[in-house]
Amino acid sequence: MTIQSAIDAWRDRIIAHDSEATALRSGHGPGQDHHHDDHEDSKHDGGHVHGGHGGFSYTNRPRDVHRTDDPAVNGLFALIDSDTTVLDVGGGAGRFALPLATRAKHVTVVEPSDEAVGILRERAAAAGLSNITVVNERWEVADIATADLVLCSLVLHHVPEGAAFITKLQERASGRVAIIEMMEPPSALEVPFYERVYGAVPTPMPGVPELLDLLWAMDIHPDVTMLPPETAVMGRDRDEITSQIRRRLDVEEHTPEDSRLLAALDELLEETPNGYTVTGIAPRRPAIITWTTDLRAGK
């Protein structure tokens, strides 16, 4: 695959998803662009670089900053030490920034969501962490110094111009880039509800396979560490889940679409010790994708 064809394939997939989702929600045929922002918000305690609907996370809950049972955090710990500076792009409310700050020299978070930034600052203060800097801007326009490790988690599947975004990640990494993505994007959790409400689903956003195609075409050949599968959880409060899924699918209360959605929630939501999941949804399969920038530069 040539670099241009890989860039086009990545962009076309995301644009197709957004256009088809907008058309379904608007009651029009696929392919009509109604300029609706369909970027999802479920980023594991985080927002993302482009904004989106209010209520930025299904899993926005406090986590122990000193936890040792999080495979993704442990995988990132293996990449840092007490002298490491970290840049967390789209870091949201600090799922990774906070624990990394307990072991790294300094962590800078680039995050445009005011809500996420407010929560991050509150949690950092509560944890007594003073080595976190927050840049409340979009990554594409942020003027940021380099860091030893540049991290980007569950963001790229929202970004049509993926190659340019990745290039900037690489340019700001003096040592290593780490990208966390899923084999299937987080929006897979919503597919059964889309289908029942609208009778169809949009083209899936890209996941790890498509990201690897793009990286390879960019002459980046990363290491890939698959993390243990995790059960996809929408939350613990049934009413909050209902409000979230209404907002994300643009469903208004007391409409035929709402009746179909409520019936789907009754049918598909399954309570687990960790919260509500969706019946029949495969476990999420996250991966940490890393490469060393100084090696790529021939140093």
pLDDT at 290 over 90: yes
Q: Is the pLDDT of residue 37 over 90?
A: no
Q: What is the pTM of this model?
A: 0.87
Model confidence over 88-103: pLDDT tens digits?
999 999 999 999 999 9
Lowest mean pLDDT among 25-34, 176-185, 279-288: 25-34
Tokens of 71: 């495979």
297 pLDDT higher than 70: no
**Region 219-234 average pLDDT:** 94
- Across 242-252, average pLDDT: 94
User: 196: closest CA among 253, 243, 244, 256?
Assistant: 256
CB atoms within 10 A of CB 87: 29
Point out the least confidently predicted range of 56-60, 187-191, 250-254.
56-60
pLDDT at 279 over 50: yes
Tokens of 194: 């889309």
Q: Which of 34-43, 52-61, 78-87, 252-261 is predicted with the least confidence, judged by mean pLDDT?
A: 34-43
Q: Is 63 exposed, middle or buried (0-12, 13-18, 19+ CB in 10 A)?
A: middle
Percent of the chain with pLDDT over 90: 78
Q: What is the mean pLDDT of the chain?
A: 88
Those residues with Cβ within 8 angstroms of residue 259's Cβ, 6 or more apart along the chain or in another chain: none
Res 61: pLDDT: 63
65 or 32, greater pLDDT: 65
